[in-house]
Amino acid sequence: MIMKNNPLDYITSSMVTSYDCPRKYYYEYLEGWKPVRPSANLVFGSIIHDSIAGEYLNGRKAENIFLEKWDNIEEVVYSRNDSYESLKKIGLSLIEQVKRTEVYQRVVEVEKAYQTELPDGTVFKGKVDLIYDNGKEEVLLDWKTSSSLFLDHRPDLDDQLTAYSMLTRIPMVAYGVLLKKKNPDLKFYHARRTQQDYLDYQLKVMKVVSDIESGFFFKKPSLYCNFCPFTSLCRNQTEKIAAELKRVPVEDRYEGIECEEALACPA
């Protein structure tokens, strides 16, 4: 497939954005809009993720990676109850809790990338946070940071976990939820995927890709617009756009990364 509206292939995170709001996908993945001052919560989650992975990938202690990255963050927007120091303290506490888990001692793969070609020719990629062995089978785990109690049913329905499971053919999936509370906590939520889940998800991706390739990027107004950084673009608020947003080249998140070829589901 020669892609007109996404020359960098389709990836799991971009699909999630497109489900949430096609216009948001257009702004972020095609036009390259980014907030001038990103959310501290998003930056925090990314740094936690990189720190945990970094201990396995380069042998450095996760705590040291976190401190180095957090000490060098640029200007961000904090939520009402957060600050630079509070998130720093929470981050170190969460990493300490992660390292005490059985999961951390049974890691098989970290940050492993996969790709497959769907029946319509779409090249689909995904990078798995972590795979571990629970003593009976391999489990695919995705780290999530949250400031409130996580919905324990979500792993059963989550498309991103389905995508990773489809690419790896590991049916057992899990969230590792890092709770950014006054007393930080760590919870694991498990679910299982089936061949039918893969087929349903594959059809969904191909439908979304068809809309993207045809240039169909409709607005999807909802309560989540209050948290979207691109609302000013939808409302054509020129002064707010100039003050809060910037355009940058769209990054190829898989540049230089070798992806393992995954088996495609039948059409």
Fold that domain 10-210+225-249 belongs to in CATH: Lambda Exonuclease; Chain A (3.90.320)
The answer to whether the pTM exceeds 0.85 is yes
At residue 2, does pLDDT exceed 50? no
* Distance (Å, whole) CA 58 – CA 53: 9
Read off the pLDDT of residues 155-165 as tens digits, 9 standing for 90 and up.
Answer: 888 999 999 99
Read off the pLDDT of residues 200-223 as tens digits, 9 standing for 90 and up.
Answer: 999 999 999 999 999 999 999 999
Cβ(58)–Cβ(68) below 8 Å: no
Query: What average pLDDT does this structure show over 95-114?
Result: 95
Return the amino acid letter for 198: Y
Q: Where are the domains of the chain?
A: 10-210+225-249
Cβ(51)–Cβ(72) below 8 Å: no
Q: Which residues contact 88 (CB under 8 A, 6 or more apart)?
A: 67, 70
Give the pLDDT band of residue 4 (cuts 50, 70, 90).
low
Query: What average pLDDT does this structure show over 101-113?
Result: 95
Cβ(40)–Cβ(81) below 8 Å: no
Distances 245 to 213, 220, 266 between C-alpha atoms, Å: 26, 20, 42
Give the pLDDT band of residue 170 (cuts 50, 70, 90).
very high
Read off the pLDDT of residues 120-155 as tens digits, 9 standing for 90 and up.
Answer: 999 999 999 999 999 999 999 999 998 876 655 578
Beta strands in the chain (DSSP E): 10-11, 33-35, 107-117, 123-133, 138-146, 172-179, 185-192, 245-247, 260-261
Burial group, residue 33, by CB count within 10 angstroms (0-12, 13-18, 19+): buried
pLDDT at 266: 67
Q: Which of 74-78, 192-196, 251-255 has the lowest mean pLDDT?
A: 251-255
Query: What average pLDDT does this structure show over 164-175?
Result: 96
* Distance (Å, whole) CA 211 – CA 69: 38
DSSP codes joined into one string, 29-59: IIS-EEESS-BHHHHHHHHHHHHHHHHHHH-
Cβ(254)–Cβ(125) below 8 Å: yes
pLDDT at 12: 83
